[in-house]
Amino acid sequence: MLAGRRHPAINLARHELSGTVVVTARELALDGVEIRDALHGLLPGGADIGRLDALTRLTEGWPVALRLCAAALPRRAARSAAALAEITLASAAVRAYLDREVLGVLPPGLARDFARICRTSPGRWLHDDGTGALDELDAGYGLVRRRADGRYGCVPLLREHMRRRGAASAPAPVPGPGYGAGAGYGPVAAAPGIPGTADGPPPALHLRCFRRFEATVGDQELDWRSTRPRVRALARLLAVHAGQPVHRERLMAALWPDSPEGTAARGLQVALSALRTFLEPGAERGRTRLLVRSGEAYMIALPPGGTCDVQRFDAAVAAGLRAAARGTAGAEQAADSLGHAVRLYTGELLPEDGPAEWVVPLREHYRSQAVRAAHTLAEVELARGRPAAAAAAAGHALSVDPFQDAVWRLLVAAHLQAGDAAAAHQATLRHARVIAELEAPPLRGLDAG
């Protein structure tokens, strides 16, 4: 597991044993002596210095590449890196392995960018084309390495293979274990995310975060079952802040709170790539319009016609409270806006995330805002001489938080104004029971801890 190029599905940082460290492909690269020892008895014709030097330059010590070269080379192979690459990549087994096990795990958009960069960068070094693909390939997959001078290096054998694959129209490899859809740079099949975003304006995206998370395009709800839990959590975190950039450090702290910074950074890049591919499977990297990068921050952008219930709730509460502050002159507008806010708050924020530290303060904030909106609406309706509407609004506030004495008194007043003494009496009794529950001593056996 430690020698693999893919990151394990389990959280090693959280489940590691004492003294255990996570070793990536970078730390596993072999030097000249280790290469000689590793290939002893495997390399046809013997491990002479010239051939070892060529293999070191061709593979940069990547163990899997060394083993592939050793298996592919004839007994009398040439001793230059270029000649060794020519012989090694002539092997269908080597090409299939690189396609399936190395490139096949990349999201389609990232794979296309990698191919384009390898094809267009002159000389030995890869040059960033502004898409951020090289950073992601470095942090998330270990396929390139950023040097101290800011340039990126790639294992020459892999780069030569990428160059030979050529344009995006090259035939896709046969799917196998670990193969990612679209990794052959051919036409990418429709993914379960948003369809048809490559041409024309993006379709309207509608996000729902209260009571349960839901994302729809028109009347089509997106099916998240094919995505990993951390990708779904990232989507929910960005959705609740739709239209607002969220800094990468905040995302890492929220979703990888117990992981080392490097592990969290790699995990975030992989999750962002997967979410980007899910939302816009046909979009080129750097041209996505729903998951947008702004410096070191990321956000879900709402296209024209898109909505988010959290945004709408915030706007309705703010408008309603401003109107209510104007008194009688703003009463009608306050009732409309606050009533809209009350209807939007259909349940707690993102229950799927449970007691996650990042969501609890937000959940409490919106719970408090929902109570405030309903309480203010009850006051406005009572002042307008609409006691039934006031009682309904007060009842809604108490269904969210029953420990609001002022709202209980308002509910009793609304029933009395409506001439319903029995309902007022029942409200008084229910309020008394709530107070009694608060003042009751703890159960025996539960007050020691």
pLDDT score recorded for residue 145: 79
The band of 112, judged by pLDDT with boundaries at 50, 70 and 90, is confident
Compute the distance between CA of residue 345 and CA of residue 225 in angstroms, rounded to an integer. 26
Instruction: State pLDDT tens for residues 227-244.
Output: 999 999 999 999 999 999
Does pLDDT of 268 surpass 80?
yes
Does pLDDT of 256 surpass 80?
yes
Instruction: State pLDDT tens for residues 389-429.
Output: 999 999 999 999 999 999 999 999 999 999 999 999 999 99
Q: What's the whole-number mean pLDDT along residues 30-36?
A: 63
Residue found by looking up tokens 């539960």 in the block: 446
pLDDT score recorded for residue 169: 37
Q: What's the whole-number mean pLDDT along residues 366-377?
A: 98
The band of 177, judged by pLDDT with boundaries at 50, 70 and 90, is very low
pLDDT score recorded for residue 93: 72
For 115-219, where are the E strands, in sequence order?
144-146, 152-154, 205-208, 214-217
Residue 172 is classified by DSSP as P
In order, the DSSP letters of 29-43 are: ---HHHHHHHHTTTS
To which CATH superfamily is domain 308-439 assigned? Tetratricopeptide repeat domain (1.25.40.10)
pLDDT score recorded for residue 271: 94
Instruction: State pLDDT tens for residues 46-77.
Output: 556 666 677 777 777 677 666 667 666 665 55
180-197: burial string, b at 16+ Cβ within 10 Å, e else:
bbbbbbeebeebebbeeb
Does pLDDT of 15 surpass 70?
no
Compute the distance between CA of residue 261 and CA of residue 389 in angstroms, rounded to an integer. 53
Q: Please report, for the chain, the start and end positions of each structural domain, with discontinuous segments joined by +.
A: 12-97, 205-300, 308-439
Structure token pair of residue 399? 């269904």
Compute the distance between CA of residue 231 and CA of residue 217 in angstroms, rounded to an integer. 19
CATH of domain 205-300: 1.10.10.10
pTM above 0.75, yes or no: no
* Closest listed residue to residue 104, CA positions, set 143, 144, 55, 155: 143
Structure token pair of residue 91? 């092997």
Q: What percent of the chain has pLDDT over 90?
A: 44
Q: Who wins on pLDDT, 87 or 301?
A: 301
Q: Who wins on pLDDT, 245 or 169?
A: 245
